[in-house]
Structure 1
C-alpha cells in the first residue's frame, strides 16, 4: 500500500512563514523537548509550525503527516486508527495532523491529489506515503517497516524504544496470546495470526479485541491477493457467487467501500438458503472492519435488512 516518495521535496518552502510566526522560545530543539517533557504523540500542525513540528522533529524520529479535511469521509475512518497507533508507539514516531482546508500550502507542497494522504518524513525529507483509508493491520505493517528502515538513521527511535522497554519492566506482562498473534501479523503470516486469534476466541468467545482483530486479519489475507480484474468478471457473471465475493474484496481493497457493500446487498437479494447466508456473513464481516457509526456501514446495514426482509 505504500510507495517511496521519489525525488526531494523542498520542505523549506514553508520556513519563512514559520519563522515569522510567534511561538514560545525553547532552550532545546523539538526532539530534545520530546525527551525532556514528553512530546504528545499526536500534534495538530499548521503552515506556521510545520518547520519546527515536522521538519526539525524528523531529524530524531519519523513524523507521519496525516493530510485530512472535515468533509472527508475516509479521513474519519483512517485518522482514529493513526491516532491510536501513535499513542501506542512510545514516542518512536509522531503523528502530525494537517487540515488541508486551513493549510493549503502544505497540501500543495506535497502535490497531494486526494485525501486522506499519509506521508512519512524522516531526516527532513518525505520517504514513504500512501493514499486512502487502509485496514489497521496494513498500517501497522507499514509503520513497522518504516521504523525498521530508519532505526539506524534516526537516534530518537532507539532512545524511545529503550525508554519504553525500561517502563515495561515495571508493568504487568502483556497477554502472550495476543503477543503471538501480533508478531505473526507483523511478519505477514496471516494464517498463523488467524489461528492465534481463533484460539483466543475458543477460550473467550466474547473477547471483542480478538473478534475485531480476527476480522481484520481475514480481510487483510484476502486483500493481499485481491485481483482488480475480479470486478469485471463478476459484472459479467452476476449469478457466480464466488465471483461476487472476490469482486467485493477487490473493491474494498481499493477503497470502493460503497460499491463493495452494494454488490453484496444485491447478491443477497438474488440468493437464498446457504448461499444467502454466506453472502450475508461476508458482508457482516466487512462491517467489522470499520469504526462504530461509520455512515457507510449504517446505510449498508439498512439496505441489508431491507434485502433480507
Structure 2
C-alpha cells in the first residue's frame, strides 16, 4: 500500500451535510470552546466514543454529521475476511492512541450492502475517510502499522488545513473503557491449543500453516464448525494470492466455458464482498457444464458457502438455486 496524498482532489461529495465553509466555522467555534475549557482547568472530554459500529440507519448521524467536527475513518470489513482481522485491531488501537484526532467507524459489508456500493468499494478491507461530508479513499488491503500511521497523519493535516477540523481532546483510557462497557461480553470458548494455533497462523498471514493446522484439528474433530470456517477462509485467501484481478476477469469474460477462470473470479468476488455475484457465477457454471467441470464448480460453491456461513440468507438462496439446476 502506498499512502495517498491528502489533497482532497477527487473527493466524493456525499451531499448530506453542511458546506465546507460552515463546517470550518463550526470547527473554529469548537476549538475556541476547548481553549476556554482548558484555560479554566477543565479535563479533556472522556465520553466520546473513538471506535463506533455504524450501519445504514446510523450512518448520517454517526459519520456525516460527526465529520463536520472530526475526521471520520471508515473501516469496511466482514467477519469472514482474514485480512480484515489483521487491519482492524491496528485501526482500533490507533484510534485510541490519537485520542480524538479522528473517529473510527466500522461498517460490516455483509449487513450494509448499500453503503458498500455507495462508496464503490472494490475489495475488503477498505479504508475511507469522511471530512465535512466529503468521502475519499485512503487504502485497500491489510497494511502495516507504519504506513497506516502515515496515511492518518496526512488525513489529519488535510482536515485541519482544508476545513479547520481538528477533532477533540479525549481521554483515551476512558474512551477505551467506555467501548468495553458497550460491547457485549461473550463467554470465552473452551480452550483448544491446536485451534488457537490455527487462528494465529491465519491472522499472521501464514496461510499454508493455517491450512495445515485447521486440517489437523478436523482430523481429530471432523465436526468442529470453527475449524471448518477457518480452513475455508485460509484456502480462499491462499487461492487468490498472486492473482491479477483484471486479467482473471478478462479471462472469465473471454472464455465462459473455462471453468478454472470462472472459479478464480468467483473467489475474487467473494473476497471483494460481492457474495451474490460469486454464488451466481458458480450456479451458472454448474448449470451449463457436465461431468468433472460441473463437479468442480459445485464443490467450489460449497466451499464458499462455508466461508460465508450456512445461516446467511444469501447462502440459503444460493443452495436453493443450486438444487434447482442440479435436479
User: TM-score per shorter chain, which class?
Assistant: 0.5 to 0.7
Does the residue aligned with 1:288 lie in a helix, a strand or coil? helix
Q: Which residue in the other structure is 1:72 paired with?
A: none
Out of 52, 65, 70, the position equivalent to 2:74 is: 65
Q: Which residue in the other structure is 1:17 paired with?
A: 26
Q: 5 Å matches for 1:29-48?
A: 29=44, 33=46, 41-42=51-52, 45-48=62-65
Residue 214 of structure 1 and its aligned partner are, at CA, apart by: 1.2
1:96 equivalent to 2:104? Answer: yes
Conservation of the 8 A alpha-carbon contact between 1:41 and 1:87: no
Q: 5 Å matches for 1:268-287?
A: 268-287=286-305
1:114 equivalent to 2:132? Answer: no
Residue 86 of structure 1 and its aligned partner are, at CA, apart by: 9.9
Out of 184, 197, 202, the position equivalent to 2:219 is: 202
Is 265-274 or 42-51 further displaced after alignment? 42-51
Total equivalences in the alignment? 248
Residue 205 of structure 1 and its aligned partner are, at CA, apart by: 1.8
Conservation of the 8 A alpha-carbon contact between 1:14 and 1:48: no
Residue 200 of structure 1 and its aligned partner are, at CA, apart by: 1.4
Conservation of the 8 A alpha-carbon contact between 1:12 and 1:51: no
Deviations 1:267-297 (A, max 9, x none): 2123344443321110121123335665543
1:260 equivalent to 2:269? Answer: no
Change (3 A) 1:8 1:296: same
Q: Which residue in the other structure is 1:303 paired with?
A: 321
Conservation of the 8 A alpha-carbon contact between 2:283 and 2:322: yes
Q: Which residue in the other structure is 1:167 paired with?
A: none
1:213 equivalent to 2:230? Answer: yes
Greater relative contact order, per chain length (Cα 8 Å cut-off, separation 6+): 2
Conservation of the 8 A alpha-carbon contact between 1:230 and 1:243: yes
Deviations 1:17-39 (A, max 9, x none): 35768x9x894335xx37xxx95
Q: Which residue in the other structure is 1:244 paired with?
A: 262
Q: Which residue in the other structure is 1:129 paired with?
A: 138
Residue 240 of structure 1 and its aligned partner are, at CA, apart by: 3.1
Conservation of the 8 A alpha-carbon contact between 1:231 and 1:251: no
* d(CA) in 2 for partners of 1:87, 1:46: 18
Change (3 A) 1:129 1:186: farther
* d(CA) in 2 for partners of 1:42, 1:90: 12
Listed as ranges, the gaps of 5+ residues in structure 2 are: 10-19, 55-61, 96-102, 108-114, 154-171, 181-187
Change (3 A) 1:301 1:4: farther
Please give the root-mean-square deviation of Cα atoms over the aligned residues, in Å. 5.1
Change (3 A) 1:303 1:215: same
Residue 180 of structure 1 and its aligned partner are, at CA, apart by: 2.5
Residue 308 of structure 1 and its aligned partner are, at CA, apart by: 1.0
Residue 172 of structure 1 and its aligned partner are, at CA, apart by: 10
Does the residue aligned with 1:239 lie in a helix, a strand or coil? coil
Out of 167, 179, 184, the position equivalent to 2:201 is: 184
* d(CA) in 2 for partners of 1:209, 1:150: 33
Q: Which residue in the other structure is 1:69 paired with?
A: none
Conservation of the 8 A alpha-carbon contact between 1:4 and 1:128: no
Conservation of the 8 A alpha-carbon contact between 1:17 and 1:47: no
* d(CA) in 1 for partners of 2:194, 2:21: 46
Change (3 A) 1:49 1:303: same
Deviations 1:199-247 (A, max 9, x none): 1121222222221111111111112222332333234434333233223
Listed as ranges, the gaps of 5+ residues in structure 1 are: 56-62, 67-74, 100-106, 132-137, 165-170
Does the residue aligned with 1:289 lie in a helix, a strand or coil? helix
Residue 303 of structure 1 and its aligned partner are, at CA, apart by: 1.6
